[in-house]
Structures are given as structure tokens and as C-alpha cells.
Structure 1
């Protein structure tokens, strides 16, 4: 059931007449939807095919896609909408990967446990350079018992699979990050994962602006468009131009993909992936954020800061907790004169360690809040990333 309890702050701001921050030429239409439905409606206007088999809480997105397919039949580019019902979430990810290999703009919806059971398929998709985007609704992994609440275990398990990872704090960001993720995946040829918290975002009714069809044409284009090759490696493979969604599986131009390799060849290929593809990812991501802001007026960046200028205590958070932490910081300043700031991490991969070190590189205390427990580790994942970034910055400063 969709939750209205997480929408109180946003509705209060709407009633008080808070001005909209969106001022670009393609702002979009205001509506109210839960995260699952908003993402499914957006996908149905952009993608061509979906693989369906998600479990709770992402299963509502499957229904949203089918409703849009029944209502409209095709997307904003005129392509017929298709869907494949898989036997399991692993089957859905495998089907979406196959569709992407064939040149289709494909997508799948998964829950946290679904993703955790499919990490090998995700790693294979990254290794084969599929421009695939998957939407993940967080749910805690089973431990001493099952839980329906949000947990970030799957988020951090998937962080090192070779995909870039965006994490939305609300429904509007989930839709916007999908647009950005699709643009980056198709430019860099690296799969993207867009996460959102379960009951706080995926099942929460919130006000948002859905992207208009004109934005899709300007920002994303069609799957079969000829576009300039974005990197030297792409120009070596495809020439000066390539199809936006490459047809890696093409009966007219057969090639062996994913064949068994010797240990030495596999290692060289893995190293080449980092040099020729991953090192361009940050540049592609920044360019996508900038272009999206120009078209919509909405500023999306890897990190957000709230009252950090004079903060003595900084809360580092991800996901839906960012908005809550910002409200808490305002309250502590107002009622207790505590100088509290908030650093919101919205991009987990590539991790913005240098920027975090710059923002925290002064005399302040840091509190990292995470939705998971790591009993066998001294620090949870986000805190480990933070320590590593700060330590690297100190070493670079010490040794020049």
C-alpha cells in the first residue's frame, strides 16, 4: 500500500506556496504519483521493451508499465512497447541484457533482494558494455528474519559490479536520475543502476514533474539514432559514428561475445575495461547533469550540501534520509543553536571521494548514517569509503 506519511513535509511546502525550482524549457507536467508508478510511466515514454518479474516493493512498477502499454501502445518516439514476463528476477535481468545486446532500449525493475541474487549477471552486463538501466527499490535482505523495510545491503553489494550507481532521495529525483542514467549509459556504454528507498520513495505518493516527450527527444533521442562516438575506444570499435544502442548481437555481422578466455587474456581485458571505458565515466556523468539542468532547470549533482558553511557537525546520508536530515539540521540550529550541516551522497559509483574530502577538509565532526549493519566489519560500507577518501586526500596533501 502506498504511504502518505512520508509526503507530509512536501505537501506542507506546497500548501505554503514554496516556489518551484524548475525554470528550464522542458520543465514537465505537475502530478502526484508514487515512485514505482512515476518510474514506470517515464520508462514507458522512453524505453521499448521491459523484462518483468520483480518482487515487492518493485512489483508495482511492473503493473505501471503494463497499464501504460495498454493505454498507449507505443512510446514518445513511436516505437511499439513490448514486455517479456520472466520466470524469476534473475530471468528478468538476463532477458533485459539480451534485449540490450540486440539493440533494443530495454529496462527492468528489481527489488534489493532480486538484485542481490543476480550480481553475476550484472557483472556480465557491465563487462559486455550494455547500455542497460535497471531501477532498484530497496528492501532489506533476509537476516534473522525477513523484513519489508528499506535496507541498503543490495546497494553496496552491487557497487563493485562495474555499473555506475545513482541514488534518488525522492520521486522527482528517481525520474530525473533515470533520464540522466539513460543518457550516460548510452554515451559511455556502461550499465546504470538507479536506486530508491522502498516505503519512503517507491511506495510514497509525492508531487513531481513528469518529463515531456520533447525532453526525451532533446536529451535522449531514439535508440537507432546515429551519434558521434564519445571516446577513443568507441571510435576504434565503431568509427566516427555509431548506433545509439549498439547491436552487439547482429546476425548480419556475427561476432563472438563472452567466449571462454585464458586467465592472461581475461586479466588483460579486465584491465583494458578500466583504462578505455571507466576513466571517461565521470566526464560523461558531469556532462549529462549539466545538459539536464539546462533543459529542465533542475540541478542534479553527485553531492548535495545543506548549511555546510559553518557546520561543526556534518551528517553524511544517502537516499530518502537526506530530506529528513536537512529538516533535523534546521531544527537543531533553530532550537538548540547547534551548527549542523548535511552532506547528501547521490552518486555511489563513481564515488565522488575527492569532492567529499574537499567539503569535509576542515575542523568538523562527521556522523555517517546508513540503513544497514555490517557485524563482521569494523565500519559499514559508506563509512569505509569516506575514510578511504579522506586518507587519500591527506596523503596527497602531505606528499604533494
Structure 2
């Protein structure tokens, strides 16, 4: 079997709520969708949708630029040999894991179709009946926190992520945390995500002022070194997200005892192959992980679903499904959150058949 064609599609994903960053507000995000075709009639799909150029180094135009370097070297390769495909991509381009992830995921989707199995069966089998999702609670006034938790609880969620540190101050962040702690019920989980916004002195002050509250702190500071510097000065269990970009950093974090969990975004770490490796190391090390992605639609949600349900309960923490909150669907039968939980379907591969009328013509074709 050989790759004969790769198509790139571009899709704008409108946001339910604008995403605001220091120098730009995003009303929609630029999504790149990839289709791989073979000489035996099989095809595989994937997507990659970075959030913003000021959030992480990944950006939408970079996806399609990287494809110009990567894809010509893959024509004629066997897409079911996923490790070989990854080695080939690394020969053609250094870095750009987020772009390579789309090729990797599409190859895994294609493998499922070749073997006529849903993807989770190729990842070790089903270990969860369904995967708990979580919503983001925006960094607004403290009173909003109580309303949002009640709203999302009614939608079936029991795991809540509270955003902190965006244009706020010490008192506002502490107030948000206390409102959230009062709103969360027994058996529910609260995570406070600073999205790397705090300096070390800000993180120490806020975390020490809220030591009486039961919550996880996620990515308090920009760099791994900053997070490590406060790790053993506070009581809250720590989850690292943005600074965990590959398995080497994760292994360093394990050696330094720097975290209890990982916020793993599939396209940040190279796709299914990279996420599976991180999942298995978390399992062996007794750590927890979320199964997330930067953004996306049905293909992204499906990839998360298959990784999530093939993760042991003791390792899986929760999953954020962005398309649930942006409402863009190009396959209404694809995996989606229902009553706060994500599940796969039983179709081969990812189980997604994109509506071609929504995608339009490819913006680039490689043969």
C-alpha cells in the first residue's frame, strides 16, 4: 500500500465566545483538515487547529507551510507503518510537531479502516465505557463562576476548569477560586488554570492564600523552570500543560517530581503516536493526564475519544472537547459530548466521514 495523494482543506471555525489575547481577539480559528489517499482506495483524515499566535508557537499558516516540506517525501510510503512515517517526516523537517500530527493521525485513521477496527482497538482496547469531559469557566467577575458551574452541571459535567490570570489581579483570582470552591459539590473536581500567566511571586502569593481549598493548579507560570521553582513551596497538586511539549520534557518532570498530571494536547505532541507514548508513561508512573487538543471539530474530538477510552481509569483525568463549545459539525454521527461524557462510535478508524460540501475544494493537493 502506498500514499498517492494528500489533500489540504481550510475551514474557519467560528467561536461561541471570542478568545481574547493581549494583542488580538479571535472570532474564529483557522483549521487545516488533511486527507491521505492510497493506491488501494483507503483514505485517512485528520485536522489541526492552533488557537492563537500569542498562546503557543504553533500557528495555522505554519501548518500548511510545513506540509510543503513534509508531504512530498511521503508520497509512495506505506501509511500503515506509522513509526516509519514519523521517521520520514523528521528527516524532511525539524520540529513542527503540530503539523506532523495531522499526518500521523490521518495514518492511524487509515490503519483502522484497513483493519476494519475502531481506532481504540489499535491503541490497546477499550478501558473506559465513556470519558468525562470538562468545560472552561472564563476569567470574568467572581459571581459568574457560580452561574457557570451550575449551568455546566446541568449539562452533565462534574469536572470544572476555572481560568485565572488573564488581565486580573491577586484579589480577583483569589475571589474566583473561593466562589468556585463554594459552588463545587462533593465528588466533583476543580482545576484552576492560569495558562502560564503568573510570575513566580504571583503564583506563590495566590496559591498560599488558597491552601485551604481543594483544587489542582494547572500551568501557573510560563516555563518549566518557573513551575518547578514553586512546585515544592505550595500544597496544591500541579498539572503541567503548555510546557510539556514532548516526552523528553515529561521524563524530566518525572525525575524532578514536578507534577501530578499532564495536560496532553494531541496535536502538540505529534498526534496519536506521541500521545500514546505519553499515555503509557503516565500509566507506568502513576500520573494522571487530560486528553485534549488545542482546538478543532469532529476529527479532533474523535481522536480524543479514542485515546481517552483506551486510557486506564487511574490515569485518565478528563477531556476538553472544543467543538462542543463552538458547535461546528461536519459529521453529525462523529463522536461528541453527551451529558458531559465523550465516547467513540464503532466505525473503523476515527469514525468520521466529513461532509465534503462543508469543506469545499482543497487549498493544496500533493501527488
Under TM normalisation by the shorter chain, which class is it?
under 0.3
Q: Which structure is richer in relative contact order (CA contacts within 8 A, separation 6 or more)?
A: 2
TM-score (norm 1): 0.25
Q: Which of the pair is proportionally richer in strand?
A: 2
The structure richer in helix per residue is 1
TM-score by length of 2: 0.27
